[in-house]
Structure 1
Amino acid sequence: MASIKDVAAAAGVSVATVSRVLNAHPSVSADARTRVLAAVDALGYRPNAVARSLRTDQTHTLGLVISDVLNPYFTELARSVEEEARALGYSVIIGNADERPELQDHHVRNLLDRRIDGLLVSPTDGGSPLMLDAVRAGTPMVFVDRWIPGVDVPVVRADGRAAVRDLVAHLYGLGHRRLAIIAGPAATTTGSERVEAFRAALAEYGIPLPDAYIGQGDFQAESGRRVTEGFLDLPRPPEVVFAADNLMALGALDAVRARGLRVPDDIALAAFDDIPWFVHTDPPVTAIAQPTGELGRAAVRALADRIEGRAPRSVTLPARLVVRRSCGAPAQPQSPSPVQRSTS
């Protein structure tokens, strides 16, 4: 591989001049810049990123720790983060926490050891001492999707409360009165927030949410299956199961089918976090969609602002309800509403 000395010799300039050209320093003549760039191209020279990071104390690398890489929501989020980071001149190293706090901290520690410029995290729990220490030490950080309450870190997230109200209105209009929820981990902000939004929306229609209709899941498909089996064993099973994430909804669908039941004929199903698969399930699943791609892009922009000395800001974007067939069809034509309806 060609070295910077080889480039300097080929261009007939000093190593310092080559360095100034590669770092876009203005004090280089146009003729010298042209010769250096021609030599770089002819020799196929690639700057040593490690050596440059030692000189500048920057690696132009971001860390992203996501909760579950198998969850299509986080897969899409990671893709949008990588695309936006690349557009801004950064690379991304991804760590999959698999919804395990200890694995999350393992990735955070390794990323910090690699001298990343900043960290994007979707926390798996309510407070990691390692992450809090990193914040106190001045590590540029942005929380995305989930956050740790009380920590002074920008948060980029979707607000699903209005969409949950739209969902309950839709279910009420279909005649459903016994509504249950498969909740995510209470230690996560999204886990607790979605239950409270669902409870509040039910209260607007005078519908209670008894403890028997709250099942504790973990954002994994198996927990959705287990909780739904428990709902079906109740003396009065719910008419609707609302899963607080997509994987738990798929597990719920498996549980219903294993009993020889059908959605929505025997029990209705809805989910938080729309995914492309829901269009192809039988029936297509009614879901709350988050603006996942824009969340990832906004998170990178906020982190870049923090790294580059600009004031970062938190961003909250609205989620929306997509109505399909998994909750049943209206008995008669309904008046138009602001809720988006899919043709699926």
Structure 2
Amino acid sequence: MASVKDVARRAGVSVATVSRVLNDSASVTAATRARVLEAVAELGYRRNAVARSLRTDATRTLGLVIGDILNPFFTELARAVEDEARALGYSVVIGNADERPDRQDHYVRTLLEQRVDGLLLCPTAEITPLVRDTVRDGLPLVFLDRTLPGLDVPTVRAEGAAAIAALVRHLRDLGHRRIAFISGPALLSTGRERTEAFAAAMEACGLPVPGGHLEAGDFQAASGRSATARLLDLPEAPEVIVAGDNLMALGALDEIRARGLRIPRDVALACYDDLPWFTHLDPPVTAIAQPVQELGRRAVRVLAERIEDRPVESVVLPSRLVVRRSCGEPAGTGERDAGEREGSVRA
């Protein structure tokens, strides 16, 4: 099925010009209009109903659909997006998908019908027909934090493999050998990537991962707590539990405290995703910090370039390990960054 990009290439114009022609804008010459309509006819291009509602008149409004507004990561991300958008003269309308494809599509459809100039999407695991159509029609869209296979969409995300490797080496150097991991959903790119990075880091350090030491969670606190309970009930419980995100770490912390266990004396705890108040816990929690504010800022700038019909590239930013005292670090250990820092990578 032909896309608006195909029409633009055939007619030798920009995607924005095609949109103006299809929306009967007066700001297109008769010759250009004829060339675009001829390309439409030759390619048999048809617009979907949602795309048709997106007018070319700029509204100076951006849409943002996030995974879970109650997750502190997404809360901070939304704030960064809003701040950067405001600095560029845009307003932001936010939708909370609650990690459900149907709710995601509801907000995508609503935002397009409200004629936002562009859309930032933290996609759920499922590639829905609406998302596929939105990509096909060349509407200004940027994926944020997560990727979807097979879709040609610029993405702004964090790379955590190097930080996870640094964490595993740090735990090994502290003398830990039995290290368990609570993963996120395998259907989400972030869940897969963190699990694969953990397994690779353990192998590189010569540390085995028994089958019972790899638990699957869903990036929610309840799954972190239930996974921790199963880990602690093993005949040979892990010395360290690494949670794949901050909410699962909170669930793990609840289960550890409920059993009257002490961190790190009875079991150590670390997690992917840092929280500002991790420093106020006793002991402070060792965590991998994502560049959340920079992710939000860069995503808005990439989207603004797409709206202006400029060429853009995906952006990958480095995460970093922040060492505190929840894994058995010496009592005098102050907060510090550890491990290699990757430079920003464009893919």
Coarse TM-score class (shorter-chain normalised):
0.7 to 0.9
In structure 2, the partner of 1:102 is 102
2:270 is aligned to 270
In structure 2, what is the Cα distance between the partners aligned to 1:207 and 1:126?
34
Corresponding residue of 1:24:
none
Instruction: Give runs of aligned pairs for residues 294-309 of structure 1, distance below 5 A.
Output: 294-309=294-309
After TM superposition, give the deviation of residue 280 of structure 1 in Å.
1.4
**Contact in 2 for aligned 1:126/1:149 (Cα 8 Å):** no
Could you say what the CA RMSD is over the residues aligned between the two structures, in angstroms?
2.0
By how many angstroms is 1:150 displaced? 2.0
Distance 1:240 1:277 in 2: 21
Which residue number in structure 2 is paired with residue 46 of structure 1? none
Match of 1:220 in 2: 220
Contact 2:64 2:119 in 1 (8 A): yes
What are the Cα deviations for residues 122-163 of structure 1, in whole angstroms up to 9, with x where unaligned?
112142221111111121111111111221000101111110
TM (norm. structure 1) is: 0.80
* AA in 1 matched with 2:315: V
SS, match of residue 219 in structure 2: coil
Change (3 A) 1:311 1:275: same
Match of 2:326 in 1: 326
Larger radius of gyration: 1
Q: Which runs of 5 or more residues in structure 1 are unaligned?
A: 1-52
Q: Is residue 54–residue 113 contact of structure 2 (8 Å, CA) maintained in 1?
A: no
Give the residue type in structure 2 aligned to 1:219.
Answer: F
Counterpart secondary structure, 1:102: helix
Cα distance in 2 for partners of 1:55, 1:199 equals: 47
Partner of 1:125: 125
Q: Does 1:78 align with 2:92?
A: no
SS at match of 1:254: helix
Secondary structure, in 3 states, of the residue corresponding to 2:102? Answer: helix
In 2, the alpha carbon distance for the partners of 1:337 and 1:76 equals 21
CA–CA distance in 1 between the matches of 2:229 and 2:85? 43
Contact kept, 8 Å, 1:126 with 1:189, in 2: the verdict is no
In structure 2, relative to structure 1, the CA distance for the partners of 1:332 and 1:303 (3 Å cut) is closer
Equivalent residues of 1:63, 1:119 under 8 A apart: yes
| Cα separation, partners in 2 of 1:281 and 1:83, compared to 1, 3 Å | same
Distance 1:145 1:240 in 2: 27
- The aligned residue for residue 151 of structure 1 is 151
- For the residues of structure 1 that align with 2:169 and 2:331, how far apart are their CA atoms? 15
TM-score scaled by structure 2? Answer: 0.79
Deviations 1:186-239 (A, max 9, x none): 110000000000000000111122221111111111110111011011111111
C-alpha distance 149-238 of structure 1, shift in aligned 2 (>3 A): same
| Shift in CA distance, 54/134, structure 1 to aligned 2, threshold 3 Å | closer
1:23 corresponding residue in structure 2: none
CA distance in 2, matches of 1:300, 1:211: 41
| Cα separation, 2, equivalents of 1:55 and 1:195 | 42
Q: Which residue in 2 is equivalent to 1:13?
A: none
> Which runs of structure 2 are paired with 1:282-321 in the superposition (5 Å)?
282-321=282-321
Q: Is the 8 A contact 1:183 1:243 kept in 2?
A: yes
Q: 1:303 to 1:329 in 2, by over 3 A?
A: same
Taking a change above 3 Å as real, the CA distance of residues 55 and 106 of structure 1, as seen in their structure-2 partners, is closer
Corresponding residue pairs, total: 286
Structure-1 separation of matches of 2:55 and 2:310: 22
3-state SS, counterpart of residue 311 of structure 2: coil
Mark the CA change 1:273 to 1:337 in structure 2 (over 3 Å): closer, same or farther: closer
Deviation, 1:331, is 9.8
CA distance in 2, matches of 1:234, 1:313: 46
Unaligned ranges ≥5, structure 2: 1-52, 341-347
Give the direction of change, closer, same or farther, for the CA distance of 1:119–1:54 in structure 2 (3 Å limit): closer
Query: Aligned partners of 1:337 and 1:319: how far apart in 2?
Result: 11
* Secondary structure of the corresponding residue to residue 230 of structure 2: helix
Corresponding residue number in structure 1 for 2:253: 253
The corresponding residue for 2:138 is 138
Q: CA deviation at 1:58?
A: 2.0
Could you tell me how far apart the structure 2 residues matched to 1:64 and 1:54 are?
A: 16
Check the 8 A contact 1:66/1:121 in 2, yes or no. Answer: yes
**Given residue 323 of structure 1, which amino acid in structure 2 is its aligned partner?**
V
The amino acid that maps onto 1:288 is I
